[in-house]
Amino acid sequence: MAIESPNLEPKGIQGLGKAIKRKEDSRFIVGKGNYLDDINLPGMMHMALVHSPYAHAKINGIDSSEALKVPGVKAVITSKELAGAGLAWVPTLAGDKQMVLADGKVLYQWQEVAAVFADTRQAAADGAAAVQVDYEPLQAVVDPYKATDADAPVLREDIKDKMEGAHGPRRHNNHIWTWDVGSKDETDQALASSEIRVKQHMVYPRSHPAPLEPCGCIGDMSKATGRLTVYMTSQAPHAIRTVLSLVTGIPENNIRVISPDIGGGFGNKVPVYPGYVCAIVGSIVLGVPVKWVETRTENLTTTGFARDFHMDIEIGATKEGKVTAMKVYTLADHGAFDAAADPSKYPAGLFSICTGSYDFPKAYAEVDAVYTNKAPGGVAYRCSFRVTEASYLIERSMDVLAHELKMDPAELRIKNFIQPAQFPYPSALGWTYDSGDYEKTLKVALDKLGYEELRKEQAEKRAKGELMGIGISTFTEIVGAGPSKDFDILGLKMFDGAEIRVHPSGSAIVRAGTRHQGQGHETTWAQIVSEELGLDVDKIIVEEGDTDTAPYGLGTYASRSTPVAGGAMALGARRIREKAKKIAAHLLEVGEADVEWADKKFSVKGVPGKSVTMSQVAFAAYTNLPQGMEPGLETTYYYDPPNLTFPNGAYVCVVDVDKGTGEVKVRRFVAIDDCGTIINPMIVEGQVHGGLTEGFAMAFMQEIAFDAEGNNLSSNFTDYLLPTSLETPKWETGHTVTPSPHHPIGAKGVGESPTVGSPAAFVNAVVDALAHLGVRHLDMPVTREKVWKVLRGAGIDAF
């Protein structure tokens, strides 16, 4: 008889810093995870979508008659039917609006045109294939630099000639907004008087998070109760409930969003997608549950892409290599709708962290966003809102500057680091960095790598005509959005809630407004509570993802869970401890002032051995209370962080380049992270491994590419390449610990540091290997072909 759920729980009090095994593993290793597509409801129908083959086309008609003849097909809806429900268009998170199904025209290839409902998934797919759409192709805008040409076709007829957008004036029908920060004049002056000025253009290409579980949803409108239950692959179920209530008019108490186990998210599962809306509408119309699970192609072609930032930077410096100023201009390709998942005040996210770990006296950054005939998005792919683009920009540029100065890139960085004594450090672009010891972290990385030795080896190899490079990235992130004075999404302040209920027998249930997708919250939240309350981790159960039971919170993305919900968890536990202390005093028959919390129990000061545990207190909270005290031992805590956190790290990469084939082999990669206090070192290391692998993917293979007609050339895993175990390098990790001074447990968050910090290290290493051939920059993905062309162009012999 096969075992259903092994008991693998780590036991006892296991607080911060313990590498305990994960509590959530038990169900996954026996195949009992409960992902969206594993849920089947009685009477459920299936939905399939019809997609446009054109990037830009007028729709002259949609004929569903053949589809309706397919056995099992029950209904087909188009934009016309949605309009009846007021749902033809829905607001995006970025203040724009978006078609649910094509309304009169399509604006990108694979755009959703109609939804087909049927008894089985196969019948729905057959039905979708039978829907006839009459398209009249139009000229597509693919190059973002051409989007605002005087003669460019107007993409968004719905806002044609409306020159006031959600983020200020628009200067062309395909222009969305312009956002800038810093002092332009002062920066220009500082640049003008700089001894050295370097300029570089670089592209952070369009990419896709591509979690292995695609997106999906089940809409379940109960006619009997009037309640809508939505099962959804969502990283932010509470925000989704509110948004659903606003767009459908269904009162929020009548909506329940359940986000079951999620097979990876990486930002892909934050927005609301047309498929979700159609499945919900389908359920309301048909009176049965409706399931929609996207195919991989739908995932890659229609749901939130990331990046697509086209950046120009200029840096000024002294001859000795001290930076004086930075000026950045970025063109952001948002596709057909501005569906970026950014906090309202920040249409370019937190891109203004682009001064990085360096003490730039002056800086100015400007971002222009445009519409093109590509899928909408701008999601924060394993990234805190455009921090990845910013970090890549500055870390790549520091190498460009080092190249110009003929200076070692490590030395240049050390010369310009923000010093420990400067924290809290006000950056030229307006942030207050919390803490860091950048030089120490870099030195740990360089020592672990054996930097000096490798530089010698490189010189020897170069003399022999062999190609080897070393790339450094000493990045600073900005995560944990965010303090309510500045951060909201659609007006919802970006705090997070935690609920802790201690049961009479000393066990507890803990709930949070976040939703993990592999990050290990079921273990790490239990560890925080175990630390603060002295309860056994195996007696703490963690629950997330059901809006009926969990406290409100904005969800898990942008590395905000530990900085925000983790803070709520710690402070909630401390609030419980305050009450527990009163009960302990009662049990110990002393005044509260004589009781202290030490060694994870309450003791009478100065009387060794006279103590009670939290379990004993919990029992008393239900059985033997001090007179007049409210029974129970539980709380809900909402944490509004006072600042963001600034995780940082030093990554160093060594590559060997095959001069015949252009193949780049990553020989070593050392990643030293400083994410403040570490809750579970095993989980942190796992996050770093995974993030580095995604950074590696970005640097060398991942790209959502288009041809001149706007055809998506990366619509499945044979064209959009993810690294396998074969090409993924071995990672060498380590830490420095500089706690965040303002976070309740000093933690900063780590899930995204490796994706943010590593791409520049990889590219810097390749460019370093080719620098003596006159190469100063290569855009990602740095494919074999690109390197091969450089080598052949430089007249390097293949053998």
The site for another protein (CB under 8 A) is made up of 1-3, 6, 8, 21-22, 24-33, 35, 37-38, 121-122, 210-214, 261-264, 266, 295-297, 517-520, 682-683, 685-687, 689-694, 716-718, 722, 724-726, 728, 730-731
Residue 601 near which of ligand FES, another protein, none (CB within 5-8 Å, type-dependent): none
Minimum CB distance to ligand FES, residue 262 (Å)? 9
Residue 694 near which of another protein, ligand FES, none (CB within 5-8 Å, type-dependent): another protein
Minimum CB distance to ligand FES, residue 119 (Å)? 23
Residues 6+ apart with CB under 8 A from 294: 214, 215, 216, 275, 302, 303
Minimum CB distance to another protein, residue 275 (Å)? 16
| Residue 390 structure tokens | 């910013």
User: Judged by CB, which is closer to ligand FES: 261, or 308?
Assistant: 261
Whether 576 and 502 have beta carbons less than 8 Å apart is answered as yes
| Residue 253 structure tokens | 């108490």
Minimum CB distance to another protein, residue 486 (Å)? 31
Residue 689 near which of ligand FES, another protein, none (CB within 5-8 Å, type-dependent): another protein
Whether 512 and 551 have beta carbons less than 8 Å apart is answered as yes
Cis omega (within 30 of 0) for bond into 71: no
153 binds ligand FES (CB under 6 A): no
User: Judged by CB, which is closer to ligand FES: 378, or 518?
Assistant: 518
Residue 622 near which of another protein, ligand FES, none (CB within 5-8 Å, type-dependent): none
Minimum CB distance to another protein, residue 684 (Å)? 10
Q: What backbone phi and psi angles, to 5 degrees, belong to 593?
A: -65, -20
| Residue 400 structure tokens | 């460009």
Minimum CB distance to ligand FES, residue 303 (Å)? 17
Whether 543 and 509 have beta carbons less than 8 Å apart is answered as yes
Collapse the DSSP code of 367 into the 3-class scheme (helix H, G, I; strand E, B; otherwise coil) and give the result. Answer: strand
Minimum CB distance to ligand FES, residue 212 (Å)? 4
Minimum CB distance to another protein, residue 240 (Å)? 19
Residue 245 near which of another protein, ligand FES, none (CB within 5-8 Å, type-dependent): none
Residue 506 near which of another protein, ligand FES, none (CB within 5-8 Å, type-dependent): none
Whether 777 and 400 have beta carbons less than 8 Å apart is answered as yes
Residues 6+ apart with CB under 8 A from 274: 49, 98, 99, 100, 101, 112, 302
- Look up tokens 């990602």; give the residue: 780
Distance between CA atoms of residues 272 and 256, nearest Å: 15
Residue 29 near which of ligand FES, another protein, none (CB within 5-8 Å, type-dependent): another protein
Cis omega (within 30 of 0) for bond into 482: yes
Which runs of consecutive H residues, i.e. helices, occur in 314-450?
Answer: 387-405, 409-416, 438-449
Whether 595 and 634 have beta carbons less than 8 Å apart is answered as no
User: Judged by CB, which is closer to ligand FES: 210, or 311?
Assistant: 210
Whether 714 and 703 have beta carbons less than 8 Å apart is answered as yes
518 binds ligand FES (CB under 6 A): yes
User: Judged by CB, which is closer to another protein: 117, or 731?
Assistant: 731
Collapse the DSSP code of 540 into the 3-class scheme (helix H, G, I; strand E, B; otherwise coil) and give the result. Answer: strand
Minimum CB distance to ligand FES, residue 697 (Å)? 13
Distance between CA atoms of residues 498 and 571, nearest Å: 9
Of the candidates 330, 332, 331, which has an alpha carbon nearest to the alpha carbon of residue 378?
332
Distance between CA atoms of residues 36 and 562, nearest Å: 25
| Residue 350 structure tokens | 């937190």
| Residue 617 structure tokens | 């207190």
Residue span 176-215 as binding mask against ligand FES, x where in contact by CB under 6 A, dash where not: ------------------------------------x---
Residue span 622-661 as binding mask against ligand FES, x where in contact by CB under 6 A, dash where not: ----------------------------------------
User: Judged by CB, which is closer to another protein: 40, or 623?
Assistant: 40
DSSP 427: P
- Rounded to 5 degrees, what angle do the CA atoms 68, 47, 264 make? 160
User: Judged by CB, which is closer to another protein: 296, or 322?
Assistant: 296
User: Judged by CB, which is closer to another protein: 46, or 310?
Assistant: 46
Residue 117 near which of another protein, ligand FES, none (CB within 5-8 Å, type-dependent): none
- Rounded to 5 degrees, what angle do the CA atoms 727, 732, 737 make? 140
- Look up tokens 């990385």; give the residue: 445
Residue 21 near which of ligand FES, another protein, none (CB within 5-8 Å, type-dependent): another protein
Residue 685 near which of ligand FES, another protein, none (CB within 5-8 Å, type-dependent): another protein
Whether 780 and 207 have beta carbons less than 8 Å apart is answered as no
Of the candidates 42, 29, 54, 45, which has an alpha carbon nearest to the alpha carbon of residue 77?
45
Residue 519 near which of ligand FES, another protein, none (CB within 5-8 Å, type-dependent): another protein
Whether 479 and 387 have beta carbons less than 8 Å apart is answered as yes
User: Judged by CB, which is closer to ligand FES: 561, or 635?
Assistant: 561
264 binds ligand FES (CB under 6 A): yes
Q: Which residue is nearest to ligand FES (CB)?
A: 212
User: Judged by CB, which is closer to ligand FES: 212, or 629?
Assistant: 212
Q: b/e map of 379-410 (b: 16 or more CB within 10 Å)?
A: bbbbbbbbbbbbbbbbbbbbbbbbbbbebebb
Residue 127 near which of another protein, ligand FES, none (CB within 5-8 Å, type-dependent): none
List own/partner pairs for 625-633 with CB under 8 A and 24 or more apart.
Answer: 625/583, 625/586, 626/582, 626/583, 626/585, 626/586, 629/579, 629/582, 629/583, 633/501, 633/502, 633/576, 633/579, 633/580, 633/583
Minimum CB distance to another protein, residue 598 (Å)? 32
- Half-sphere exposure of residue 758, counting CA atoms within 13 Å on the CB side? 33
User: Judged by CB, which is closer to another protein: 6, or 251?
Assistant: 6
Minimum CB distance to another protein, residue 121 (Å)? 8
Minimum CB distance to another protein, residue 388 (Å)? 16
Q: Where in the sequence numbering do the catalytic residues fall?
A: 235, 382-383, 752
List contacts with ligand FES (CB under 6 A): 212, 264, 518
